[in-house]
Structure 1
Amino acid sequence: MQLGIEGRRAIVCASSQGLGRACAEALAAAGCALVLNGRDAEALAATADAIRAAHGVAVETVAGDVADEQVQAALVDAAGGAPDILVNNNGGPPLRDFRAIDRDALRAGVEANMITPIRLTQRVIDGMVERGFGRIVCITSASVKAPLAGLDLSSGARAGLTGFLAGVARQVAQADVTINFLLPGQFATRRLDSVHAAAAEKQGVDVAEAARRGAERIPAQRYGDPAEFGAACAFLCSAKAGYITGQSLLIDGGAYPGIL
């Protein structure tokens, strides 16, 4: 399927690895020029080189914490001041008991997973409306729909983001600007490796066994391939998806048992 976004300019946050990189790869395959972001400048540069070589598209990089407003401004500038696509992404807080989350940790979690993507959206959305096209995709978490103990801060901040921007989505839909949310379950990324390590310690087994047990609990009987997630992101960013907005797409291999 031709996605109709060749030549569009896309900002993809936290994209040097994992699901962010998968989204960047899929957008590059669709012909988008990219602005990538990550904290590790060396890893970011390596990702940019690999994507340029594989897809022949222009790739700019902005290293730094996307919560930093100077980094946010640099991302927009690197997209020529007029990005057509924004993929909001940021790492979530670590697993911890809610009783152990102090005021500073609360503020940091909300800053990273709610305030930062809202601020980035504020920076780009009026230009998208004026040009008559825009796609904003926020990577949140399956825990927004099915909260998990220990991920309370992540779930809460991302749910707040979803509620905030779902209302904004209805205000700009007439201009062919959409805002949607991707909710990943368990994908084969570096973050999942740490989950397996924690599970192995808790269960008293090795990491491979913990990983096997985890996959067995998913109806698909496997973990997600990041490329599958990237493809879903690219579709929501496409010209074909203009009638989809304010929606949360759960991608978890059937792990969530509900119908709503």
Structure 2
Amino acid sequence: MDLGLTGRTAIVCASSRGLGRACAQRLAEAGCTVVINGRDREQLTAVAVAIAESTAAAVIPVVGDVATPDGQAALLEACPDPDILINNNAGPPFRDFRELDRAAILTGVTANMVAAIELTQKVIDGMRARRFGRIVNITSGSVKMPLPGLDLSSGARAGLTAFMAGVARTVAADGVTINALLPGVFETDRLKAMIAATAAKRGLSPDEVAAERLATVPARRLGTPDEFGAACAFLCSVHAGYITGQSLLIDGGAFPGAF
């Protein structure tokens, strides 16, 4: 399927690995010029080369933390008028909520809610003027099904979801959509870290914890970053212009609800 994105520009935050990288890869395959982002210069440069070589797309690496003003400024200097913005950032570490002090809470909310709002503020009017824009917020399946230990992540991302739901309705008539992708259990470095932390806390092996987690997924497998990236690219496509203000759960059926 031609996604109708040839010649478009996209900023993909936190895209040097995992789900963000997969989204950047798929958008590049669809014909976008892609600005990718991360804090590890060596890793980011390698990913930029790999995506460019595999797609022939223009890929611009921007080193920085998207939760900071400097990081956001660097992204917008590289791409002042993006057609597509993928808001993404690493979540807070797995931690009992009793261990969170005010500073940790504010850091988590800034990284997983405030940064996405700030970037959206900076690009949305340009999208409206051009009569095309796609904003996708990568949140988490824990927004719908909170997990103990990820309380800060769940809370910040749920706040972002509610905030953007109202904004989405104000720009839909201008050809701008805002949606969220909620990943469940995907094969990423973050999942490995969470499994390791849980295993250490419970005195189990990582394999035992991983098996327990998979048993809760009807699909009985991990999601792949590539299929997540494909879903993201579709939401950014010309075919998804009537989808806005929605949260697409991609979790292999783990959430036990009909709606």
TM-score norm. by structure 1 comes to 0.97
Kindly state the Cα deviation for residue 202 of structure 1 after the two structures are TM-superposed.
4.2
Kindly state the Cα deviation for residue 110 of structure 1 after the two structures are TM-superposed.
0.8
| 2:66 alignment partner in structure 1 | 66
| 1:135 alignment partner in structure 2 | 134
* Amino acid in the other structure paired with 2:109: V
| 1:252 alignment partner in structure 2 | 251
Deviations 1:225-249 (A, max 9, x none): 1101000000000010000000000
| 1:13 alignment partner in structure 2 | 13
Taking the aligned partners of 2:71 and 2:97, their CA distance within structure 1 comes to 30
> SS of the counterpart of 1:48?
helix
* Amino acid in the other structure paired with 2:35: V
Deviations 1:174-205 (A, max 9, x none): 01100000000010011111122123334544
Give unpaired runs (5+ residues) of structure 1: none
- Of 192-201 and 39-48, deviating more is 192-201
| 2:53 alignment partner in structure 1 | 53
* Amino acid in the other structure paired with 2:240: A
* Amino acid in the other structure paired with 1:76: L
Taking the aligned partners of 2:36 and 2:22, their CA distance within structure 1 comes to 12
| 1:165 alignment partner in structure 2 | 164
Task: Output aligned runs, 1:25-174, within 5 Å.
Answer: 25-79=25-79, 81-174=80-173
* Amino acid in the other structure paired with 1:129: R
Number of residues of Structure 1 aligned to a counterpart in Structure 2: 259
Taking the aligned partners of 1:213 and 1:97, their CA distance within structure 2 comes to 20
Kindly state the Cα deviation for residue 214 of structure 1 after the two structures are TM-superposed.
2.0
Kindly state the Cα deviation for residue 57 of structure 1 after the two structures are TM-superposed.
0.5
* Amino acid in the other structure paired with 1:13: C
Kindly state the Cα deviation for residue 7 of structure 1 after the two structures are TM-superposed.
1.1
Change in Cα spacing, 1:63 to 1:103, as seen in structure 2 (3 Å) is same
Taking the aligned partners of 2:141 and 2:236, their CA distance within structure 1 comes to 20
Give unpaired runs (5+ residues) of structure 2: none
